[in-house]
Amino acid sequence: MASDSTGSEPAAAARSHAPRPLVGLDLLRFGAACLVMLYHLACTAWMVPSSEAAALVGSPIPFPTLLPVSEQGWVGVQMFFVISGYVIAYSASQASASRFLTGRILRLMPGIWFCATVSFGLALLFFPETVWVLFERYVRTLILFPVPRWIDGVYWTLGIEIVFYGLVYVLLCLNRFERLEPVVLAVGVISALAWLLATAPVWPDLDRIISTRIAKLLLLTHGCHFALGVLLWSAVRRGLTGYRVAGLAVCLTGAFLQIRYDAGFVGASLGLDRSPEMPWFLYAVFMLLFCLSIRVNTALTDAFPGLGRRIRDLGLATYPLYLLHTFVGALTMRFLAAYGLPPAEALTGGILVAVAASLLVSRRIEPLLRAGLGWSIGAAGARLRSRSLMPGALTR
């Protein structure tokens, strides 16, 4: 990872002008989604009665032996943010502002519209709230309203992702994409310094303040995770300099402190262990695998030409899996338990059905919706250009 000759993804893509599949990152993304799914289906579904998963499962199905891992599955979200930093920097480096914006809309919105609609329909059948309350949450989800509540709590991360996308988009519009690394590093350092300050006794409530929704939308809470991804992308592209090592060290420190706060908050909420050791371990293993996957990506895709496409299917399924797993997985568990299956088999069935549903959505449904939305965006752009309302520079 020290130079462009490491055989890593962006370097090879720059030489061949044909991007390779990011095999390792697709696997890590899928693994992070599975961690979050395990957290909801094997932990909150029976330990948090107010959660969506608990309402969908009905009678609690306990999994005490899985708690050492399942109660820490929330750390998959922080892993997503690191991957987003890397992948968005990589994709934006090859796109204009308009192409980047269109790509993000086509990637996000079809999945949201379909998965939120499925969740809304199921919520009408299984949630105790009134139709109007559920419809309000559904609409808030469709328009990506930045504050809760949504039809499913998992949508809380999308607003944070969109703020990061917006930062990248602004730099592209200003033709200052080369400033992405210092800008995101500044965000990451501010985030890390805030978490470092929160450990000091001078401001006891600072950790709570920098974990509020507005702090999350300002990237103050999770900016250190996004910055790690961008810095790793820059290191692969331009070399691992002392400046980047220092930035990685600061942001990694902030990331571990942020995870420590979440571990304490979740542990207190569940009445379980508040130690950050297990989520720290999972995050550290993830970071090591992340760096390794980048380094060996070219060798993997050269040695196994068909591997990338198959694993890419899992990577693409991660998004609908994240959005659907609570409803699809928990309801599957409910029905399997009602038919007398033991807890382990009910959980296995819930996970498998959720994965199968996400593959169906990513392979069959999202492409159709994306094609229709892409045609609509293209037609709208053509009409605006014909009326001279869109500057030509924005359509290149």
Q: CB of 287 within 8 A of CB of 308? A: no
Q: CB of 258 within 8 A of CB of 252? A: no
Question: Tokens 């697709």 label which residue?
Answer: 26
Q: What residues does each domain of the chain span?
A: 4-395
The helix (H) or strand (E) run that includes residue 373 is helix 366-386
End-to-end Cα spacing for the chain: 33
> Quick count: other Cβ atoms within 10 Å of Cβ 58?
16
Question: DSSP letter string over 39-97?
Answer: HIIIIIHHH-TTSHHHHHH-S----GGGHHHHTTTTHHHHHHHHHHHHHHHHHHTTS-H
What the block records as the tokens of 222 is 């999770």
Q: What is the DSSP letter of 8?
A: -
Question: DSSP letter string over 280-335?
Answer: HHHHHHHHHHHHHHHHHHHHHHHH-TTHHHHHHHHHHHHHHHHHHHHHHHHHHHHH
User: pLDDT tens digits for the chain (396 residues)?
Assistant: 433 333 334 333 333 444 667 788 999 999 999 999 999 999 999 999 999 999 999 999 999 999 999 999 999 999 999 999 999 999 999 899 999 999 999 999 999 999 999 999 999 999 999 999 999 999 999 999 999 999 999 999 999 999 999 999 999 999 999 999 999 999 999 999 999 999 988 888 999 999 999 999 999 999 999 999 999 999 999 999 999 999 999 999 999 999 999 999 999 999 987 899 999 999 999 999 999 998 887 777 776 667 777 788 899 999 999 999 999 999 999 999 999 999 999 999 999 999 999 999 999 999 999 999 999 998 887 887 777 555 554 444
> Quick count: other Cβ atoms within 10 Å of Cβ 195?
26
What the block records as the tokens of 155 is 């949508």
> Quick count: other Cβ atoms within 10 Å of Cβ 65?
11
Q: How many CA atoms lie within 13 A of 61 on its CB side?
A: 30
Q: CB of 390 within 8 A of CB of 340? A: no
294 vs 316: CA distance, rounded Å? 18
What the block records as the tokens of 150 is 């949504």
205 CB-near residues (< 8 Å, 6+ apart): none
Pick from 193, 195, 227: nearest CA to 211: 195
Residue 20 pLDDT: 66
